[in-house]
Amino acid sequence: MSFFKQLVLETEQERAYLLGSPIIARCFEGDIELNDYVNFLTEAYHHVKHTVPLLMTLGGKLTEQQEWLREAVAEYIEEELGHQEWILNDIAACGFDKEATRRSEPLIQTELMVSYAYDLITRIEPVAFFGMVHVLEGTSVTIADMAAAKIKDTLNLPNAAFSYLRSHGSLDQEHVKFFENLMNKIDCPKQQQAIIRSAKRFYVLYGNIFRALDVTKQGAAA
């Protein structure tokens, strides 16, 4: 079995935890409000703005023997530059103040996921960061296009409000294939286990953000 297939297989339970988040179910049932979508985009902004800094940190931690991997990280950096601004523009297209979002504070669940990512690179195993890449890219490709279509139909939003979701949907399949090939080149058992371990944790951490968004809605209703 390839390492990528092993990664997918061994993280199925945690992936189910993420995809089982109530707000995701509500979205596909059409039970979603504009604030739900903007709150999601707000938390996305607060973690996506760290993607390039995290990748740069990772690149600096790799050894000379991992130069092939550093080159792949450089490709990721080039691809991810400016994505946080796409999110802010989506928020503006929804009729909200994107600069207010820029100045806002993330939910604690988002801050914890970002903090763990930095800690993972600097304290545990730099290569384990690819566990986060697997979770975020894999989840996006799985549900982003369908979610965008459902939210657009339910809320009657313009196409300009979905640049982030649609850029990470089915059009991102090439990135997933690139990631799969990259993971299959990692042959160190210790690094493989570190990636699996981190993916399990990021599925839970990311799932907690989605669950917190639903709790925020319930609290507002109360």
Whichever domain contains 195, its CATH number is: 1.20.910.10
Is 222 part of any domain? no
Is 70 part of any domain? yes
Range of the domain at 110: 3-217
Instruction: Mean pLDDT check: name the lowest of 28-32, 105-109, 144-148.
Output: 144-148
Q: How many domains does the chain have?
A: 1
The pLDDT value recorded for residue 44 is: 97
Measured distance CA(124)–CA(185) in Å, rounded: 21
DSSP classification of residue 20: T
**What is the separation, in whole angstroms, between the first and last Cα of the chain?**
50
Measured distance CA(95)–CA(80) in Å, rounded: 25
Is 163 part of any domain? yes
Confirm if 84 and 110 have CB atoms less than 8 A apart: no
Q: Mean pLDDT across the stretch 66-86?
A: 94
Percentage of the chain modeled with pLDDT above 90: 82
Is 146 part of any domain? yes
The more confidently predicted of residues 62 and 143 is: 62
The pLDDT value recorded for residue 138 is: 82
Is 11 part of any domain? yes
Is 99 part of any domain? yes
Confirm if 11 and 201 have CB atoms less than 8 A apart: no
pTM value surpassing 0.85: yes
